[in-house]
Amino acid sequence: MARITLQNLAHSYLPHPAGEQDFALKELNHVWQDGSAYALLGASGCGKTTLLNIISGLLRPSQGRVLFNDRDVTDAATAERNIAQVFQFPVVYDTMTVRQNLAFPLQNRGRDAAYIKARVQEIARIIGMEAALDRRAQGLTADAKQKISLGRGMVREDVNAILFDEPLTVIDPHMKWELRTQLKRLHREFGHTMIYVTHDQTEALTFAQQVVVMHDGRVVQIGTPQELFERPAHRFVGYFIGSPGMNFLPAEIAGSSARLAGGATLSLSGHYAPATGAIGIRPEHLFLTDRGGLPVTIRRIEDVGRHRLIRAEFQGAPLNIVAPEGLPIDGLSHVGFDARRINVYVGDWRVAPQEKAA
Ligand SMILES: Nc1ncnc2c1ncn2[C@@H]1O[C@H](COP(=O)(O)OP(=O)(O)OP(=O)(O)O)[C@@H](O)[C@H]1O
């Protein structure tokens, strides 16, 4: 297993990039701690695969270095990096049985037959394919073949890291949940450094200890699922994490108050330098009330499982509110805020409250 360090890393697919806009991956410094489980999360085209391919050695970065522990592997081929990879679509040998496919990476490394037998059995159990071990891969469904690919990715215990690129795309929803749980268990048991690329926030938040959120070629936040939810560092994180995402209202910030459209003011829990920006608050942290707070117009009420989603509007800006099921809504026309839950943004970035003036 290895700690993976990215130093001043950046990549452009153009031979002569003219500026930052020409970089698919903007400059990045980051250490992936040995034995941690990370998710790399972002919308399509934000640079996740580019970053993963640089770590795996499929792509040479146009700038910067990659270190595995203290060894510079920037110019090392994929085979020299001692990593396992699982891609979006299955990579299996059709003419081999499931058992032979799973055993292949271990045989290549010259492991003894007894170890291979036991390890293959264990992995087959984890991916739910014990009963199919002696079947040929040919003729299996795409779903089953992808489970074999996942199993092959996990079968070696001595890899520096396991890299997953959207590995559950072809897996049916129930099995997705099952495999994610198994991957987590495997991580706890063997402590591999794992990097898991996905555009699905549920996958990222349930799998990873740390989530690396990318937007437009840039890493905008690295944090625990809770940090991303409570204190999004960038407006994209607020919008992308959560369902629906964070509400943003334009505001004039000064000291401990935010002045909103129409002149209403809200108290903030911290102290801020004067700025034109926005306040951000999660739909889960708003509540409907009959007085106080801000006057809102309720546009629509949606039942979503165990709660209701209120689509409201304040001074022309949409405001989503999550309300508990069964809460009477008739006659409620104001929305209340818990000041401690409000984040302040200037431009796209969150600003932290200042230390209180003495
Ligand atoms: N081989 C390539 N040549 C030129 N541009 C590329 C190449 N591969 C990717 N890009 C561009 O680089 C940017 C980042 O792509 P990348 O595939 O890394 O994103 P991603 O987040 O993995 O997206 P997806 O989830 O759709 O795979 C995109 O604008 C993409 O069009």
**Distance from Cα 212 to the centre of ligand 1, integer Å:** 17
Q: In the prediction, which pLDDT does 85 show?
A: 92
Question: Percent of the chain beyond pLDDT 90?
Answer: 77
**Distance from Cα 44 to the centre of ligand 1, integer Å:** 8
Q: What b/e string do you get for 217-246 counting C-beta neighbours within 10 Å, with b at 16 or more?
A: bbbbbbbebeebbeebbbbbbbbbbbeebb
Residue 267 neighbours by CB under 8 Å, 6+ apart: 256, 257, 339
Separation CA 279–CA 266 (nearest Å): 10
Q: In the prediction, which pLDDT does 65 show?
A: 97
Separation CA 294–CA 328 (nearest Å): 18
How many residues can be counted in the chain? 358
Q: What superfamily in CATH does domain 247-351 come from? A: Nucleic acid-binding proteins (2.40.50.140)
Q: What angle in degrees, to the nearest 10, is found between the helix axes of 113-126 and 142-154?
A: 130
Check if the beta carbon of residue 262 is closer than 8 Å to that of residue 251: no
Sign of CA dihedral 55, 60, 61, 66: positive
Reply yes or no on whether the pLDDT at 358 is more than 50: no
Weakest-pLDDT range from 20-29, 69-78, 164-173: 164-173
Sort 303 into a burial class: Cβ within 10 Å, 0-12 / 13-18 / 19+.
exposed
What pTM value is reported for the model? 0.90
Q: Whose CA is nearest to atom 20 of ligand 1?
A: 45
**Distance from Cα 273 to the centre of ligand 1, integer Å:** 39
Question: Percent of the chain beyond pLDDT 70?
Answer: 99
CATH of domain 4-240: 3.40.50.300
For CATH 3.40.50.300, the residue range(s) in the chain are 4-240
Q: Which of 26, 48, 164, 199 has most ligand 1 atoms within 8 Å of CB, for mutation?
A: 48
Task: Give 338-357 pLDDT, tens digit per residue.
Answer: 899 999 999 999 999 987 65
Q: Whose CA is nearest to atom 26 of ligand 1?
A: 44
User: Which atom of ligand 1 lies nearest, measured to the CA of 49?
Assistant: 22
The mean pLDDT of 223-240, rounded to a whole number, is 96
The mean pLDDT of 296-307, rounded to a whole number, is 90
DSSP 183-198: HHHHHHHH---EEEEE
Task: Give 93-127 pLDDT, tens digit per residue.
Answer: 999 999 999 999 999 999 999 999 999 999 999 88
Q: In the prediction, which pLDDT does 266 show?
A: 93
Q: Residues enclosing ligand 1, CB less than 6 A?
A: 13, 24, 42, 44-50, 199
**Distance from Cα 218 to the centre of ligand 1, integer Å:** 13
pLDDT band at 2 (very low <50, low <70, confident <90, very high): confident
Q: In the prediction, which pLDDT does 304 show?
A: 85
**Distance from Cα 10 to the centre of ligand 1, integer Å:** 13
For CATH 2.40.50.140, the residue range(s) in the chain are 247-351
Helices (H), 127-196: 142-154, 173-190
Mean of all residue pLDDT scores within the chain: 92
Weakest-pLDDT range from 64-73, 182-191, 276-285, 289-298: 182-191
Reply yes or no on whether the pLDDT at 75 is more than 70: yes
Sheet of 294-295: strand order equals 286-289, 334-337, 294-295
